[in-house]
Amino acid sequence: MAAKTKTPVTQKPERVAKVMARAGLCSRREAERWIAAGRVAVDGKTLSTPAVVVTQDNIVTVDGEPIPPAAPMRLWRYHKPPGLVTSHGDPQGRPTVFEKLTETLPRVVSVGRLDLNSEGLLLLTNDGGLARRLELPATGWTRRYRVRVHGIVDEKKLKGLENGVTVSGIKYGPIRAQLDKQSRANAWLTVSLEEGRNREIRKVMEHMGLEVNRLIRLAYGPFQLGNLKRGQTSEITGKVLREQLGEQEARTAGGRTGKNRGEG
């Protein structure tokens, strides 16, 4: 029988998925899937819906085990190589980001995703609630990319992306794109956007008659890829977290130094 460990939340009621995310078990979306699969119980009663709130007086278990205490909020930069899926498991058996991470990291989730062939900066955190917050367009953080495309770039069309564009019925917000270099059939662009929908840059460029053959994320809000080598991680210090996220959001952030870690 599982030990009666109370839920690591304040007395204020919170959604159970949010509590699970804060404990570092998973993202909120993953928590909702776990609940749908019948893996989560509150006070011994298996949940069938995520629309349940809990307090510190409740006992939340996953697969019969009490969820752990909320860990101090931590955040890492990671240089994702191409060829890795940003997922904890892939039905097609392709290698994933999380399989390649060093064992010295705790269980982490990603802030957003980079698709299989994309590379560059990926933020990782042990706090699913923080990941969700940083993913929201309301955060207002700009994602900046270095993009190589095959085709001849029309700079007037690039400029027009600042007004947004609709592709296959999907309306994308403003995109700032600048031509850096055109070399025969290939060109390098710098692209910035705030929303970052699934494969947005690839779809928009294809709509303009351009094929993306390399996509590197250079920055996510105030956090830069910098000189991180492929596969390396660097922890963002508690001081920087407090400066960028606010003292209240990062009040439990660790004060570790950000040393690069090779991921071999």
Name residues whose C-beta falls within 8 Å of residue 225's C-beta, 6 or more positions apart in sequence. 77, 79, 120, 121, 216, 217, 218, 219
Q: Are 28 and 129 in contact (CB under 8 A)?
A: yes
Structure tokens at 190: 């710098």
Which candidate in 63, 115, 154, 180 is catalytic? 115
Residue 174 has φ and ψ, to the nearest 5°, of: -60, 135
Give the torsion sign (CA, 156, 162, 85, 122).
positive
Report the candidate in 2, 11, 109 with the shortest Cα–Cα distance to residue 53. Answer: 11
Structure tokens at 215: 């996509």
Q: Is 115 a catalytic residue?
A: yes
Residue 56 has φ and ψ, to the nearest 5°, of: -65, -15
Supply angle C-alpha 84, 89, 90, rounded to 5: 65
To which residue do tokens 């008659």 refer? 209
Q: Outline where the chain has alpha helix (H).
A: 16-22, 28-36, 97-100, 128-135, 155-160, 200-207, 238-245
- Please identify every residue annotated as catalytic: 115
